[in-house]
Amino acid sequence: MSADLAELYRDLHRHPELSFAETRTAAVAAGRLRAAGYEVTEGVGGTGVVGVLRNGTGPVALLRADMDALPVAEDTGLDYASTARGTARDGEDTAVAHACGHDMHVTCLAGAAAELASTPDTWTGTLLVVFQPAEEIGGGAHAMLDDGLLDRFGVPDVVLGQHVAPLPAGVLAVASGAAFAGSDTVRVTLHGSGGHGSRPETTVDPVLLAAATVLRLHTVVSREVAATETAVLGVGMLRAGTKENIVPESAELGLTVRSYTPAVRERVLGAVRRIVRGEAAAAGAPRDPEVRVVETFPPVVNDAAAVERTRAALATATPLPVVDPGPVTGSEDVGAFATAAGAPCVYWLLGGGDPAVFAGASTVDEIRDRVADLPSNHSPRFAPVIEPTLSTGVAALVAAAREWLRP
């Protein structure tokens, strides 16, 4: 892969931006598309960028990459590590890093867009190249759709994309059906009665209430979801208090819920509401707790026939076998484009793990064990190796697009 694309990746990694604040990233993406000859529109759905390249008659293929970073302090030790700061949605100043690999997604799509533009004899039809904001908060795809993406630029016949993951670099993995879980973000506010830390008997301690609630919530999946079904429930945020000797008035929890079916989703969310109310009542809380679902998006469902068609193309992009990872509990909003268009979605995983980590591994179990040892997406130490991740990602997007836009 060209040194130019590798440097683009390092540049984007150094300059991450939070959801709906991807102004620099969007400008870089737009500039790359213009240089390749695309019709470019910026500001779609906030900071989204759409490039259109028409090459005769034929189908329309939408290729998508997300652009936003996370409120995470990077701890990779890379010489191009992020030191950026940003303002989180709650108004707090925060470190910002590409801890989920969206900088790799942008770079791969920029490279693929240029490759397809320079080889018009290998495809026919229309390319819609979409750089999407705010995937991390589940709002970017809908924002672009609400801004008239399909009416303004055309309805795709297929939606294609990829997500970097801690699989061996060079590996591509795609599953049919519900490939990525649906996601719900839940905020819980627990109300107590504050006072002096030396006189807890005069208070209702929301910190203790929060601790008891967290422990009880983590029984939902193990005790209320069947072993034949899949769900994830985790508490990723707990905020309470300002000083050690003050019992605060309230505590706030932030939960993530992942599921694949409406029935399991409703069961888990119902259990969350029941447990939160029950723990508050047991603690003698002076007010009922508040439980709000603040973000939600459905599972990504890969069309089976489209997956089989695309799998053969992906096999030409890597010397390694294209594998089936099974359902992934991570979540994505890319499926919103396909649902709105009534088109099949094919969304695959792009391995970014250091090949040296997997040296000598000869069985699936050995590879799985080493994957478990790698930093996962959203870890402050998550960092795909540039090569062969970048080359494989570009080649995969190009091969998939050409398959759907055959001359």
Inter-residue contact 347 to 149 (CB < 8 Å): no
Residues 217 and 350 in one domain: no
* CA-wise closest residue to 108 among 6, 40, 179: 6
Residues 50 and 150 in one domain: yes
Residues 10 and 104 in one domain: yes
Residues 375 and 320 in one domain: yes
For 33, the enclosing helix (H) or strand (E) is helix 23-36
Residues 280 and 261 in one domain: yes
Which domain-ending residue is among 296, 314, 349?
296
Classify 296 as helix, strand or coil: strand
Inter-residue contact 226 to 287 (CB < 8 Å): no
Which domain-ending residue is among 296, 326, 351?
296
Residues 20 and 166 in one domain: yes
Which domain-ending residue is among 251, 269, 296?
296
CA 247 to each of CA 215, 243, 244, 252: distance values in angstroms, whole numbers, following the listed order:
20, 8, 8, 14
Inter-residue contact 25 to 8 (CB < 8 Å): no
Return the pLDDT at 89: 84
How many angstroms separate the CA atoms of 249 and 195, rounded? 8
How many angstroms separate the CA atoms of 162 and 65, rounded? 8
Residues 244 and 382 in one domain: no
Residues 168 and 42 in one domain: yes
Residues 287 and 360 in one domain: no
Residues 47 and 23 in one domain: yes
Residues 338 and 197 in one domain: no
Q: Which residue has tokens 């694949």?
A: 260
Find the CATH number of the domain harbouring 74: 3.40.630.10
Residues 199 and 248 in one domain: yes
Orientation angle between helical segments 206-217 and 262-283, nearest 10 degrees: 150
Domain of 394, in residue numbers = 3-180+299-404
* CA-wise closest residue to 112 among 125, 127, 124: 127
Find the CATH number of the domain harbouring 281: 3.30.70.360
* φ and ψ at residue 76, rounded to 5 degrees: -95, -25
Return the pLDDT at 1: 55
Identify residue 98 by its one-letter amino acid code: H
Per-residue pLDDT of the chain (407 residues; tens, 9 = 90+): 579 999 999 999 999 999 999 999 999 999 999 999 999 999 999 999 999 999 999 999 999 999 999 999 999 999 999 999 999 888 899 999 999 999 999 999 999 999 999 999 999 999 999 999 999 999 999 999 999 999 999 999 999 999 999 999 999 999 999 999 999 999 999 999 999 999 999 999 999 999 999 999 999 999 999 999 999 999 999 999 999 999 999 999 999 999 999 999 999 999 999 999 999 999 999 999 999 999 998 999 999 999 999 999 999 999 999 999 999 999 999 999 999 999 999 999 999 999 888 888 777 788 788 888 899 999 999 999 999 999 999 999 999 999 999 98
Burial of 26 (0-12, 13-18, 19+ CB in 10 A): buried
Question: Cis before residue 388, ω within 30 degrees of 0?
Answer: yes
Number of domains making up the chain: 2
pTM (predicted TM-score): 0.92
